[in-house]
Chains A and B, each alone.
Chain A
Amino acid sequence: MADDAQQQVKKSFMYVNRKAPYGTIYALEALEVVLISAAFEQDVSLAFLDDGVFQLVKGQNTAGIGMKNFSPTFKALGDYEIRQLYVERESLEERGLTSEDLMEITWEDEEDDYAKKPSIRIVSRMELTEVMAQQDVLLNF
């Protein structure tokens, strides 16, 4: 019965990240909520736009500001079956960033001999708008 109930309420959740890390608590809180949501077997994806793209930049070193560097956590999302990280191309370009500046985030495909596949998808603003419009629930951070 519990299984039936769960299946009936399976929804697509997109977590929309628009803030740079460390200056405010939004980015870290979003990641906490994403990890919690993974326990509920929902269809979860993440979007990174505006300053949110800075959350995925590689080489973050927070030693000098006395805060925890939470960026390695993104690499663990694949283990929670969160495999869709949409990054808006225009937001990268406006900030002088390219896909080369982002961390490598992958998930293991059990059906393909555990091959590592990229979780990050660089999409245009228009494509992201379409993906957002297909979600059941949008949660902004």
Chain B
Amino acid sequence: MSTLHTVNKSPFERSAFSSALNHLKPGDAVLMIEDGVVGARKGSAFAGLLESAAKSCAIYVLEPDLAARGMGETDVIQGANLVDYGGFVDLVTTHQRTQAWL
């Protein structure tokens, strides 16, 4: 019965990221896409929040969006999983519903 939450806005600009994290249930997944990927950057002001969410939820980052912004696997918090577009589709199909925070 779990939910896939997508976040497509930077937490430095909008509250979508914080709202998504505030409405997670254990076992849910968070996928960061578009400008949302900057919220996964390790050492950022939001890294701590994401790391605590990662204890009960799976965290995914869309690799092409990360690469487009000059970042890669070593730039994101530990525990975040990189996925490609195929992985995005898999996440949608393996969760009950998707909530697209924007």
Interface on A for B, CB 8 Å cutoff? 16, 18, 49-50, 125, 128-130, 132-133, 135-138, 140-141
Q: Is the CB of B99 within 8 A of A50?
A: no
Residues of B within 8 A of A50 (CB): 15, 19
Whether, in the assembled complex, B45 has its beta carbon less than 8 Å from a beta carbon of chain A, the answer is: no
Q: Is the CB of A136 within 8 A of B19?
A: no
Q: Please report whether the interface of chain B is mostly helix, strand, loop or mixed according to DSSP.
A: mixed
Residue of B nearest to A128 (CB): B23
8 Å CB interface, B12-29 against A: 15-16, 19, 22-25
From A16, A133, A138, name the one whose CB has the most chain B CB atoms within 10 angstroms.
A133
Q: Is the CB of B23 within 8 A of A129?
A: yes
A-B residue pairs in contact (CB < 8 Å), sample of 15: A18-B16, A18-B101, A125-B23, A129-B22, A129-B24, A129-B25, A132-B3, A132-B23, A133-B3, A136-B97, A138-B3, A138-B97, A140-B99, A140-B102, A141-B102
Q: Please report whether the interface of chain A is mostly helix, strand, loop or mixed according to DSSP.
A: mixed
Residue of B nearest to A137 (CB): B97
Q: Is the CB of B99 within 8 A of A138?
A: yes
Residues of A within 8 A of B3 (CB): 132-133, 138
How many Å from the CB of A82 to the closest CB on chain B? 20
Residue of B nearest to A139 (CB): B100
From A16, A129, A136, A140, name the one whose CB has the most chain B CB atoms within 10 angstroms.
A140
Residue of B nearest to A19 (CB): B102
Q: Is the CB of A133 within 8 A of B25?
A: yes
Residues of B within 8 A of A130 (CB): 25
A-B pairs with the 8 shortest C-beta distances?
Answer: A138-B99, A129-B23, A140-B100, A133-B25, A140-B102, A50-B19, A50-B15, A138-B97
Residues of B within 8 A of A133 (CB): 1, 3, 25
8 Å CB interface, B54-102 against A: 97-102
Residue of A nearest to B98 (CB): A138
Residues of B within 8 A of A18 (CB): 15-16, 19, 101
